[in-house]
């Protein structure tokens, strides 16, 4: 336990435990770790005390300690890999998580089809997805193969144009969906956070456009040789 957390807890203890309690009377907030444990033990575990304030099962004590061992959800851990959500605080991720949709897809199941309405973006939490387009001969042309932490379909957050390709699960997969309506809801609740997403999204789309242009230039160079 670090000193900052220890000191914050002692401050909370002062607000909960009655002023006349000997173990906190005239104590300094700056305590050693061992003395801190002794102090809490004398307050909380004293069997002679019938004061409900010292009952660890009470709501007050649960509120004090519940955050110490809190682990980030799998959803938040996945979202943190996405550059669209870079520079988000823990509070930002908690707010965003409330709007995220979890969806499961079986192998060879379409996430969306070419020309389908664009609803929003998807992030791969587990599994894999391929992005394809059909050729005139009826064959499948694979544009990209994506895995855990990758995202796709983000352009739909900018416009309502139909999808330009298929997205198909290549194994049983769990995806996170963040849709246009969710972005609008977030902008209504927290305009600053909504604008941050749009700004980051613009950067991602710009980077992908530059990468695409680079590939086209290389392709044309090879053909001309």
How would residue 158 be classed by pLDDT, with cut points 50, 70 and 90? confident
Distance CA 113, CA 131 (A): 10
Q: Integer distance in angstroms from the first to the last C-alpha of the chain?
A: 65
Q: Is 20 helix (H, G, I), strand (E, B) or coil?
A: coil
Contacts of 61 by beta carbon, 8 Å cutoff, 6+ apart: 16, 44, 54, 55
The phi-psi region of residue 107 (left if phi > 0; otherwise alpha if psi is between -120 and 50; otherwise beta) is beta
**CA torsion through residues 157, 161, 164, 165, sign:** positive
How would residue 224 be classed by pLDDT, with cut points 50, 70 and 90? low
Segment of 26-30, 58-62, 171-175 carrying the highest mean pLDDT: 171-175
Q: Enumerate domains of the chain plus CATH numbers.
A: 3-65 (no CATH), 74-224 (2.60.120.10)
Residue 145 scores a pLDDT above 90 = yes
Per residue in 8-38, pLDDT (tens digit) is 666 665 555 555 555 444 444 444 555 555 5
């Amino acid at each position: 336990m670090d000193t900052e957390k220890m000191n914050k807890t002692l401050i909370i203890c002062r607000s909960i435990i009655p002023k006349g309690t000997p173990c906190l009377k005239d104590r300094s907030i700056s305590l050693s770790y061992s003395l801190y444990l002794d102090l809490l033990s004398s307050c909380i575990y004293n069997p002679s005390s019938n004061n409900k304030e010292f009952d660890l099962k009470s709501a007050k004590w649960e509120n004090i300690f519940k955050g110490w061992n809190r682990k980030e959800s799998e959803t938040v851990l996945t979202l943190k890999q996405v550059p669209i959500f870079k520079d988000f605080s823990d509070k930002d991720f908690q707010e965003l998580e409330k709007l995220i949709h979890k969806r499961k897809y079986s192998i060879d199941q379409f996430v969306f089809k070419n020309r389908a309405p664009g609803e929003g973006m998807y992030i791969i939490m587990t599994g894999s997805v391929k992005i394809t387009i059909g050729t005139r001969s009826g064959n499948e042309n694979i544009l990209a193969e994506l895995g855990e932490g990758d995202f796709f379909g983000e352009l739909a957050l900018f416009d309502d144009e139909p999808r330009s390709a298929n997205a198909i699960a290549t194994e049983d997969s769990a995806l996170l969906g963040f849709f246009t309506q969710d972005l609008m809801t977030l902008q209504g609740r927290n305009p600053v956070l909504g604008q941050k997403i749009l700004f980051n999204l613009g950067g991602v789309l710009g980077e992908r456009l530059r990468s695409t242009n680079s590939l086209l230039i290389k392709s044309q160079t090879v053909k001309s040789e």
